[in-house]
Each structure stands twice: as structure tokens, then as C-alpha cells.
Amino acid sequence: MAGIDALSIIEVAVVALLILFLVYIILKIGKNLLKWVFGIIINSILGFVAIFLLNYFFDVGLPINLGALIATALFGLAAVGTMLILKLAGVIG
């Protein structure tokens, strides 16, 4: 073989396998990350909907201010539940 020896073929094969492994890992992490981000977005949207439904239909009076909106955007339904408990306990007005 002119210019290609067994060691260079093995090196190319090892590099190719490493690249395939890295691509697999990146795709696996990306899939899980996308699933996680999608779950957070859905939870935040449900939190915003819950605040407006509770205020509109049940006249709970949950605050719609910057702090409440940031908490709902970050924690979703858990933030709405916490605000509802605090409202019923009389901690927030």
C-alpha cells in the first residue's frame, strides 16, 4: 500500500468511532434537554392560565404583578399553588 500503513487505518477508525460516540452523546443530551425545556414552558403556560382562571371565575384575587409573573414563569403551577396558599392564609393581599 502506497503511503497508508496499518497504524494510520487504525487511527482513522478510532477517530471515526470517537466522533460517532460524541455525536450520539450530544444527540442524547439534546433530546433530554429539549424535553426538559418543553416541560418547563408548558408548566409556565399552565401557571399563567391558572392565575387568570382563578381570578376570573373564582375571584380569588391573586396578584398580577411583576413578582408574581416572574415566579409563575420560573416555577409554573407550583408558584400559583404557593401564592394561593399564601392568599388564603392572609399573608399576601
Query: Is 24 part of any domain?
Result: yes
> What b/e string do you get for 37-58 counting C-beta neighbours within 10 Å, with b at 16 or more?
eeeeeebbeebbebbeebeeee
Q: What confidence tens digit (pLDDT) does each residue in 65-76 have?
A: 999 999 999 999
Is the model's pLDDT at 2 over the cut of 60?
Answer: no
Q: Which domain holds residue 55?
A: 6-89
Is the model's pLDDT at 86 over the cut of 70?
Answer: yes
- Provide the domain count of the chain: 1
What is the model's pLDDT at position 10? 85
Amino acid identity of residue 11, one-letter, is E
The model's confidence at residue 45, banded by pLDDT at 50, 70 and 90, is very high
Range list of H helices, the chain: 6-57, 66-75, 77-89
Query: Is 1 part of any domain?
Result: no
* Cα radius of gyration rounded to whole Å, the chain: 26
Is the model's pLDDT at 42 over the cut of 70?
Answer: yes
The dihedral sign for the CA sequence 41, 47, 49, 52: negative
Query: Is 20 part of any domain?
Result: yes
